[in-house]
Amino acid sequence: MTLTGTLTAGALLLLATGGAARAEPVLTLLVGQQLDGSRRFGGELARLWKSRNRPTAERLAVRTVPGAEARLRALSRGRGHFAIVSADEALRALPAYPRVRAIGALWPVYLHALTRGNSVQALRLPLTAPVWTAENAGFAYDSLWEWSADLPAVREGLRVFPDGEIPRMLERLDSEVLLFTAPAPLAEIARALEADPRLRLLHYDTALLEEFRVAYPWLQIAVLPLGIYPKMRASLEAPARHLMMVGGAELSEASIRKMLDSVYGSKNALSRYDPLFGQTDPAVNALFAPLVPYHPVSIEALGIAEPHR
């Protein structure tokens, strides 16, 4: 076959396959570390997105980018399309990124408090034990530091550590209190509670919960129901913040509506495969609408009555 014939055959094959060599359009979702559930959720969401080929035909790809600020910066520079951050991170950082807008609230992550032994019965003020706080619960560390201003001995017991150190700190934990945020139930906590008879979840004093609620308008006081973790004797109230889907302002209406439909539309059926889907609630967006700038498509689709000003 001549060179011309080869080229002609190749062109005919391309036409016959409908232009298969053309790159498949891709939307990129930026997620964080595994502890907040966003990486696992992103994988399930990508599979769901592929099965819902209307109203858009793009494939959803998931990429891990450590740090909420880095994810927001990437979106603002066009190096991603969607990202998962916490609602308080969105509240703090979105004013600096006018090309990034909130799409919809996701699942709550709870402020877990664990200790070993019986020396601490509840987390209350003033603190009666050293408190080790993960960076992902920095708001709790800041508050406890402020509320202990007149107690230098208490402040000496406050420590903050990287999120990656949570497993090691859990092993070292004795009479101290360990604080970190995570979705519930978290398999690592359940296994640790089953394996160690001295390890237990702490409940929060009502007055401390009220201090948290007043200090942070984006924070909710949520219930960890009886039985969600081993060895619970009653349900527990705990501070909880929500994760949030954000996206670039240039996203098409079809892509945003497909994201909202994927997150909220089939959550009951999908919760059998990943419980995080079952914990998403579109009604929660009413809490954040006055605080965080939402994309206009989300404002209309979610029926948000009082958008951010």
Which residue is it, tokens 């129901």?
225
pTM of the model: 0.83
Confidence (pLDDT) at 52: 64
In Å, how far from its chain's centre is CA 49?
19
CATH topology of domain 25-108+243-302: D-Maltodextrin-Binding Protein; domain 2 (3.40.190)
pLDDT attached to residue 57: 66
Instruction: Dig out the tokens for 182 from the structure.
Output: 């995570």
Residue 11 structure tokens: 């062109």
Residue ranges of domains in the chain: 25-108+243-302, 110-241
Output b/e per residue, 167-177; b: 16+ Cβ within 10 A.
Answer: eebbeebeebb
Does domain 110-241 fall into CATH 3.40.50.620?
no
Beta bridge partners of 127: none
Provide the pLDDT for residue 1: 45
Q: Which amino acid is at 161?
A: F
- How is residue 264 annotated by DSSP? I
pLDDT of residue 6: 44
**Residue 298: per-residue pLDDT:** 96
Enter the tokens of residue 246. 């954000």
Q: How far apart are CA 171 and CA 168, in angstroms?
A: 5
Q: Tell me if domain 25-108+243-302 and domain 110-241 are identical in fold.
A: yes
Per-residue pLDDT of the chain (309 residues; tens, 9 = 90+): 444 444 444 444 444 444 444 556 889 999 987 677 888 889 888 888 877 655 566 889 999 998 889 999 999 999 999 999 999 999 999 999 999 999 999 999 999 999 998 889 899 999 999 999 999 899 999 999 999 999 999 999 999 999 889 989 999 999 999 999 999 988 889 999 999 999 999 999 999 999 999 999 899 999 999 999 998 999 999 999 999 999 998 899 999 999 999 899 877 766 776 777 888 999 999 999 999 999 999 999 999 875 665
